[in-house]
Amino acid sequence: MPLFIAAIVLALSAIPCCLSIWPIPRSLDSGNQILKLSGLFDISINFTNPPQDLLDAVTRTKYSIQTDQLERLIVGRGLSDSTAFGSAKTLRTLMLALEQSASTAQPIATEAIVALDARDEGYSLSVPLDGSAGVVSANTTLGLLRGLSTFEQLWYTYDGTIYTNYAPLTIVNDSPAYAYRGFMLDTARNFFSVSDVKRTLDAMYLVKKDLLSLSGSPIRLSQINTFHWHITDSQSWPIQVVQFPELAQAGAYSTNQSYTPGDIQDVVTYAGERGIDVLVEIDTPGHTAIIGASHPEYVACYLSDWITFASEPPAGQLRLADASVTNFTAAVLAAVAETLPSTMFSTGGDELDTACYAADGPTQMMLNESGRTLFEALDIFTSATHGALHALGKTAVVWEEMVLEYNTTTLRNDTIVMVWISSDDAAAVVQRGYRIVHAPSNYFYLDCGAGDPIGNDPTGNSWCDPFKTWQESYTFNPLANISSAQVSLVLGGEQLLWTEQSGPENLDSIVWPRAASSAEVFWTGDTLPDGFDRVGNISEALPRLHDVRYRMVQRGIKAIRLQPEWCALRPQVCDG
């Protein structure tokens, strides 16, 4: 390279750049010196009998660091860094230290499903400049996993040398601001194979989501710890329930488009090994038209005019005033929930169409005979179905209408409420004393702006336009209109993909890297380590999100670009 060109490259690469970690730790002190990784680098564990899933995580981390081959996102892609390789020290060892007694070491999968208010994901990390051993310390194996995920993001490759330019680095007691950090995938409107679900789980883990790429190598993003699996809806019933085989036999799109009990356990195990809890949702009593394919007597307005009786086709919802339907639903929910380790289970409860019930003869007859109103019947239905879950030690999760529209009086105080219609509704839910998960359509719906699935709409616009950019979701304030006395009721939040117009083909691109934005919102909170407010600090976040996206692509994830590469290599030059 001519000397004058090399000088230009070196000058441009000196433009200040942000630390690549996503989400940014809540406590961070980093330098800007080069530290190389030894070709004999290894990760040791300072306690006996470590659980197998921690050993597997160590193996994945070493593999990812060696195979990522990501060049730093600066002009010259690391050329300026290489001038310091000759004098740089070399890191040979990272030690994992469990601060509690070794006899208390639990598998990561066990720690990942501990109740939200008791879950411990905190860790500390030190990477010295002098080449002495780095250390990740934590109280739990789940915390060690989070520390490994952060450590993995520090490394780049240039001309065969693996190195970091952030030495020395110290993170002290990094832990999430919010316990619930999720992603929801709807696998009922369109089917996603187990491999698609696993690939998504792997992406969640890169953020400290772990994401398995198409090539089979894991990626780490930024701390998404809950996979909300919206597994059934009016369009299909893909989950095979041993006690009720007729549901999937009649309700799956095909015999090849259903999840066996073994598939479910495979996903749950895979997620648990990556520190991810699986929250399954079977939406009731609405969004249940598909049950009519096997039990038409249980479903009101089954395949009636959907424009009159549903928000989208097909029409149909459970006859909630019928005791036999209530008993059936409770039994189905229990049959699924008893196979799942999570302490949470969602029964949905959104978008009940009251016009459907008003027009349904059997429902009106039962209401008249009992002297109950529709919502009084819903109270009984909820008490029975949630009671079946409570008997299994599960905490019920519902959508916001159960509290704000239906005034369901039989909800227990420990019920978790997902706020989806608008972020403005969060304050009203916590005012009633319920814990919430933020899932507002005006910030976190990934399908918005992608078009309308309704066939005769000449505009083709979605109901929740416009497109929800990563910048929009990143600016979300979890505590807006929440009083200091109510802060403890805010558990966290999630981004969601409803799949009317999505399938395996566009799963990666419609979700990533946008869904990483909320991972930082709910891990880091409102204040960045430098003291600046996170909310609105897009300029600081963008270079780090570029880094996440490029790492994903290195591992086969088809994440969309955020800017022209010219801008990605010149942090903040394109801010405007």
Give catalytic residue positions. Answer: 273, 351
SS3 249: helix
Determine the Cα–Cα distance for residues 447 and 541; give it in Å rounded to an integer. Answer: 23
Q: From 239, 353, 369, 247, select the one nearest 296 (Cα to Cα).
A: 247
Beta strands in 287-367 (DSSP E): 299-300, 317-318, 344-348
Determine the Cα–Cα distance for residues 336 and 240; give it in Å rounded to an integer. Answer: 9
Q: What are phi and psi of 481, to 5 degrees?
A: 65, 15
Name every residue whose Cβ is closer than 8 Å to that of residue 477 and which is 6 or more positions away in sequence: 526, 535
Rounded to the nearest angstrom, the gap between the alpha carbon of residue 57 and the centroid of all alpha carbons in its chain is: 19
Residue with tokens 């929250």: 279
Rounded to the nearest angstrom, the gap between the alpha carbon of residue 229 and the centroid of all alpha carbons in its chain is: 10
Q: Are 272 and 341 in contact (CB under 8 A)?
A: yes
Q: From 169, 167, 163, select the one nearest 83 (Cα to Cα).
A: 163
Pair of tokens at residue 153: 């993001």
Length of the chain: 576
Rounded to the nearest angstrom, the gap between the alpha carbon of residue 175 and the centroid of all alpha carbons in its chain is: 17
Determine the Cα–Cα distance for residues 129 and 140; give it in Å rounded to an integer. Answer: 27
Secondary structure (H, E, C), 149-208: HHHHCCCEEECCEEEEEEEEEEEEEECCCCCEEEEEEECCCCCCCHHHHHHHHHHHHHCC
Q: Which one-letter DSSP state was computed for residue 322?
A: -
Q: Are 557 and 508 in contact (CB under 8 A)?
A: yes
> Torsion angle of alpha carbons 290, 294, 296, 297, nearest 10°?
-130
